[in-house]
């Protein structure tokens, strides 16, 4: 078996190594390998499409027009690259199936495996998460003066959508990238998702003792007892009262961050009451 064949046999036509996929180079440089984009990720294939969609050879190779929706095109590109690896089409793989240098903010976000905020819930959640940030408010309102942290959520979502849409085609090297990554990508959907993102260790659903112990720690707070529906802090059945706390937490977990009174007030209560 020749050198290239041995390399392919070792890694397999689509063998994995640390999350990346490799295919051997021609015999002229047998020790050099091509690291393809990760087939297990989504964003990188979207970035490949955005980076090359104007290139006629790229469109011909992948049977694309360049006007496809990025989600659809990226899947087609990934699947074609898998086939190119199987076929050992080294030149095409090296040209089109490797991590690209992003040209735009949007492509860079995809390379960071970020999903763009895509609906009203996303944008209203972003508003409540960042409205105390003066930089966020100033950026979203642009040259206008009719947007503040006290603006209603309906107006906010529209302005956020406009701001973010205008930033997607900006150079990937724009110094505001880190802010755009925070302000324009999909945030946690609900209270539980935000708690998990923040690294809060929650009491397990089946951890009866954990719920009972948390109840014991908090039962001296009248507001806590009222919230979970307990009339006294000296209940005989600690496990039963712990179950009421679990019910309260389960209800709070499902609330959207932009629901009235949820963020930051009830979110902070959930962090205290529902964590280990």
Q: Tens digit of pLDDT for each residue in 124-161?
A: 999 999 999 999 999 999 877 789 999 999 999 999 99
In percent, the amount of the chain with pLDDT more than 70 equals 87
In a domain, 111, yes or no: no
Q: Are residues 163 and 201 in the same domain?
A: no
96 and 130 together in one domain = no
pLDDT exceeds cutoff 50 at 26: no
87 and 43 belong to one structural domain: yes
Per DSSP bridges, beta strands 20-24 and 33-36 are: antiparallel
* Judgement on whether residues 17 and 95 belong to the same structural domain of the protein: yes
Q: Are residues 24 and 56 in the same domain?
A: yes
> Do 238 and 165 have their domain in common?
no
Residue 61 in domain: yes
pLDDT tops 60 at residue 60: yes
Examine the domain organization and report whether 80 and 137 are in the same domain: no
pLDDT at 32: 54
19 belongs to a structural domain: yes
- Say if 206 falls within a structural domain: yes
- Over the stretch 194-235, which tens digit does the pLDDT of each residue have? 999 999 999 999 999 999 999 999 999 999 999 999 986 555
> Does 87 share its domain with 17?
yes
Same-domain check for residues 49 and 79: yes
Nearest to 37, CA basis, from 49, 48, 26: 48
Judged on CB neighbours under 10 Å (0-12, 13-18, 19+), 42 is middle
The verdict on residue 114 lying in a domain is no
Q: Is residue 26 part of a domain?
A: yes
Residue 25: band (very low, low, confident or very high) from pLDDT cuts 50, 70, 90: very low
Provide the 3-class DSSP secondary structure of residue 203.
Answer: coil
Together in a domain, 179 and 214:
no
Is residue 113 in a domain? no
**pLDDT > 50? residue 169:** yes
Number of structural domains (the chain) is 3
Task: Look at residues 100, 129, 157 and tell me which one is the last residue of a structural domain.
Answer: 100
- What is the predicted pLDDT for the residue at 232? 67
Final residue before a domain boundary, out of 132, 157, 183:
183
Answer positive or negative: Cα dihedral of 252, 253, 256, 261: positive
Identify whether 115 is part of a domain: no
Q: Choose the final residue of a domain: 167, 183, 199.
A: 183
Q: Are residues 210 and 267 in the same domain?
A: yes
| Domain range enclosing 84 | 3-100
The token duo for 56 is 């006629």
Peptide bond into 83 cis (omega under 30): no
Please check whether residues 92 and 21 belong to one and the same domain.
Answer: yes
The CA-based diameter of the chain, rounded to the nearest angstrom, is 81
Q: Is the pLDDT of residue 15 over 50?
A: no
Q: Which pLDDT score, from 0 to 100, does residue 17 have?
A: 35
239 — pLDDT class (breaks 50, 70, 90): confident
Task: State the Cα–Cα distance between residues 21 and 209, nearest whole angstrom.
Answer: 46
């Amino acid at each position: 078996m020749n050198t290239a064949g041995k390399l392919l046999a070792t890694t397999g036509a689509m063998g994995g190594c640390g999350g990346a996929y490799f295919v051997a180079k021609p015999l002229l440089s047998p020790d050099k390998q091509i690291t393809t984009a990760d087939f297990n990720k989504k964003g990188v294939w979207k970035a490949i499409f955005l980076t090359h969609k104007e290139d006629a050879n790229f469109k011909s190779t992948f049977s694309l027009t360049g006007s496809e929706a990025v989600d659809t095109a990226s899947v087609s590109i990934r699947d074609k690259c898998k086939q190119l690896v199987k076929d050992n089409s080294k030149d095409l793989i090296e040209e089109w199936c490797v991590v690209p240098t992003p040209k735009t903010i949007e492509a860079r976000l995809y390379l960071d495996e970020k999903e763009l905020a895509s609906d009203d819930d996303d944008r209203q959640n972003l508003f409540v998460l960042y409205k105390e940030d003066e930089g966020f408010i100033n950026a979203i309102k642009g040259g206008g003066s009719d947007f503040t942290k006290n603006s209603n959520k309906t107006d906010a979502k529209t302005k956020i959508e406009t701001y973010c849409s205008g930033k997607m085609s900006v150079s990937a090297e724009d110094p505001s990238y880190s802010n755009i990554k925070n302000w324009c990508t999909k945030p946690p959907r609900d209270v539980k998702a935000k708690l998990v993102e923040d690294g809060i260790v929650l009491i397990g659903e089946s951890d009866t003792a954990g719920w009972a112990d948390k109840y014991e720690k908090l039962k001296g707070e009248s507001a806590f007892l009222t919230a979970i529906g307990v009339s006294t802090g000296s209940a005989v059945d600690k496990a039963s009262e712990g179950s009421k706390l679990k019910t309260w937490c389960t209800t709070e977990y499902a609330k959207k961050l932009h629901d009235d009174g949820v963020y930051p007030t009830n979110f902070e209560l959930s962090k205290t009451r529902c964590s280990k």
